[in-house]
Copies of this chain bind each other. A is one copy, B any other.
Amino acid sequence: MISIHNEPQPTDLGDVRVANRAVVLRHVRLHAPCSRADIAAHTGLNKATVSSLVSELIEQRLIREIGLTENRVGRPATMLVLDGEPYAALGLQIGADELVAVAIDLGGNRLLTWRRAFAAGTVSPTETLRALAALARRAIGRVTAQGRTVLGLTVGVPGLVDAAGAVPLATALGWQEVPVATELRAALREPTFAVGVDTVANLAALAEQRHGGYAGTADLVHLTGGIAVGAGIIAAGRLLRGGRGFAGEIGHLCLDPAGPDCFCGSRGCLTALVGLPAVVRRLLPDVEADGPVTDYLPELQRIVALARQDDPAVLSGLAETGRHLGRGVAVLVDLLNPEAVVLGDHLATLAPWLLPAARSGLAARAHAPGAGGCRLDASILDTAAALGGATAALATVEAGRLPAR
C-alpha cells in the first residue's frame, strides 16, 4: 500500500538524497535520452549532486549511458536512459472470466501479457487464489529466467480491499472476508518481494495515469467494466483510497429504484444497469437459455458484430446502456471534478456505441457547465488493472529507494 504523509515532515540529508534520486529517475523516465547537464538544468539540482546520483543509479543498473551525442550546442555529452532491464514487476488481475498476468520492466515495457480463461465467480476463493498463484509462479519463472529480479507483485480484485490486503466483500465474486494477500503469499511460498492487493479499479487508474491516453492527468477516473463497475480515482495526482481503502465504490449507486435486481441485494444499481452481465442480458436475451453465462468474451464479440451490422435492438439497448452510464458518470463528475473519465473493459469495447448517449447524459446531468471540463473516453489500455498492478509494484524504487538485489 502506498502511504501518504500530508502533514509537514522533518527532513534530513538522507531524505533529501532519496527525494533527489526520485527526481533524477523521473526526469530520465520522462525526458530520456538526456545528459547530466540537462538533468541539472531542468531539476534545479546542482551538477555535482546530479553526477553523484547518476553514478549510483548506473551502478544499480537503474539508468545507463548510451554514448555521446553531438547534436547540441557546446561539447558532446554522454546521454542517459532508464535501464531497469535487470528489474521487473508483476501485476495480476481477477476478471469476469479470466485471470491476467502482466510483467513490465522499470521502463514500463511489457515483458509478458498472459490471459487464462477462468470463471472466478463459479469456484471458491481458495481455488481462485491457487490458480492465480500458479499463473504468477509461471510468470515469475519466465521473468527470472531472463536474468531479471522481480521487485514486487500486486493483484487486482473486483471488490473491497482493506489496508492489510484482505477482501471483506466482493459481491461480484461472492467473496466475504478473504485474506487474499496472506493466502497468495503462502501459495507463492513467501517470496522475497512485496505482495500487494488492491481493487482492479485502483490499479487500472494507476495504469491510466502512467500509460493511458490521459497519462499525467492529475485528476482522473478509470471506470472498470466487467462483472463489477467500480471507479479508480486519481485526485491531485494520487489514488484516493479513503479511511479504510474502500473509496471508488460507484457500482452500487442506485440509478433506478424500480430497475433490475443487483447481486448486491439492491435494485437498479449502476452495475445492474451497465455491468457486463447486465449488458449481455439486455442485448442477448436468449443467451441464458442454456444456463448461467460464465464465459463473456464470445457474447461480447457477438454484441460487437450485431452492432456493426446496425442491429436495431442491439443499437437501442446500447444507447440505453449509454444513458445509464452518463447518469452514473455525472455523479462522479459532480463530486470529483476529474479532467477525464476513462472507460475500461467491456465499456471500452462497446464505447463507439455507448459514448454518444453517455456524453449527452453527462452534459445534461452534471451540475458544472460543460461537465466541469471533463472528457469521457474509452481506455486505450489492454488489461489495465494488471498493468497497473505491475506499475504499483515499482513505486518504492521510483520513490528513490534503491532495490535490494
Measured CB to CB, the residues of A under 8 A from B are: 4, 6-12, 15-16, 19-20, 22-23, 26, 43-45, 160, 168-169, 218-219, 231, 233, 235-238, 240-254, 264, 266, 327, 331-332, 334-339, 365, 367-369, 372-374, 399-400
Instruction: Determine if A337 and B242 form an interchain contact, defined as CB atoms under 8 angstroms apart.
Output: yes
Q: Determine if B9 and A334 form an interchain contact, defined as CB atoms under 8 angstroms apart.
A: no
On chain B, the residues within 8 Å of A367 by CB distance are 160, 169, 249, 251-252, 264
Which of B11, B15, B218, B248 sits near A243, CB closer than 8 Å? Answer: B218
What's the nearest-Cβ distance from chain B to residue A141, in Å?
34
Nearest B residue to A45, CB-CB: B10
Best-buried of A11, A44, A160, A332 by chain B (most CB within 10 Å): A11
A250 to B236: give the CA distance in the assembly, Å. Answer: 19
- A242 x B219 contact (CB < 8 A): yes
Q: Which residues of B contact A251 (CB under 8 A)?
A: 367
Inside 8 A of A240's CB, which chain B residues have their CB? 235-236, 240, 336
Rounded to whole angstroms, the CA-CA distance of A8 and B21 in the bound complex is: 9
7 pairs from A and B in contact (CB 8 Å cutoff): A10-B44, A168-B368, A236-B238, A241-B337, A243-B373, A252-B334, A254-B365
Does B237 contact A219, Cβ atoms closer than 8 Å? Answer: no
| Chain B proximity of A186: nearest CB distance (Å) | 25
Q: How many copies does the complex hold?
A: 2
- State the main secondary structure of chain A at its contact with B: loop
Contact: B6 with A237, CB < 8 Å? yes
Chain B residues with CB below 8 A from A334, complex form: 249-250, 252-253
Return chain B residues, CB-CB under 8 Å to A249: 334-335, 337, 367-368
For A247, list chain B residues within 8 Å (CB).
Answer: 235, 335-337
A399 and B8: CB pair below 8 A? yes
- List B contacts of A373 (CB < 8 A): 243-244
A249 to B26, CA, bound (A): 35
* Complex contacts, A26 vs chain B, CB 8 Å: 7-8
- Across-interface contacts of A20 in B (CB, < 8 A): 10-11
B4 and A9 form a contact (CB under 8 A) = no
How far is the CB of A384 from the nearest CB of chain B, in Å?
20
Residue on B nearest A365 in the bound complex, by CB: B254
Cβ–Cβ contact A169 & B16, under 8 A: no
Which residues of B have CB within 8 Å of A369?
168-169
Tell whether A400 pairs with B8 under 8 Å between CB atoms, given A240-B336, A243-B338, A334-B250: yes
For A331, what are the chain B residues with a Cβ–Cβ distance below 8 Å? Answer: 253, 331, 335
A29 to chain B, nearest CB (A): 11
Contact indicator A337/B8 (Cβ below 8 Å):
no
Distance in angstroms from A255 CB to nearest chain B CB is 9
What are the residues of chain B within 8 A of A238 when measuring CB–CB? 6, 236
Q: Determine the chain B residues whose CB is within 8 A of the CB of A372 once the complex forms.
A: 242-244, 246
Quick check: B12 and A19 within 8 Å, CB to CB?
no
Contact of A368 among B169, B219, B253, B336 (CB under 8 A): B169
Chain B, residue nearest A372 (CB)? B246
In the assembled complex, which residues on chain B have CB atoms less than 8 Å from the CB atom of A374?
243
Q: Which residues of B contact A233 (CB under 8 A)?
A: 335
Contacts of A332 in B (CB 8 A): 335
Note all chain B residues with C-beta closer than 8 A to A11.
11, 15-16, 19-20
Interfacial chain B residues near A368, Cβ < 8 Å: 160, 168-169, 244, 246, 249
Cα(A243)–Cα(B365), bound, Å: 18
Inter-chain contact A335/B231, CB cutoff 8 Å? yes
Docked CA distance A45–B15 (Å): 12
* A336–B10 CB distance below 8 A: no
Q: How far is the CA of A19 from the CA of B219 in the complex (A)?
A: 26
> In the complex, how many angstroms separate the beta carbon of A137 from the nearest chain B beta carbon?
32
Determine the distance from Cα of A405 to Cα of B142 in the docked complex, in whole angstroms.
65
Residues of B within 8 A of A400 (CB): 8
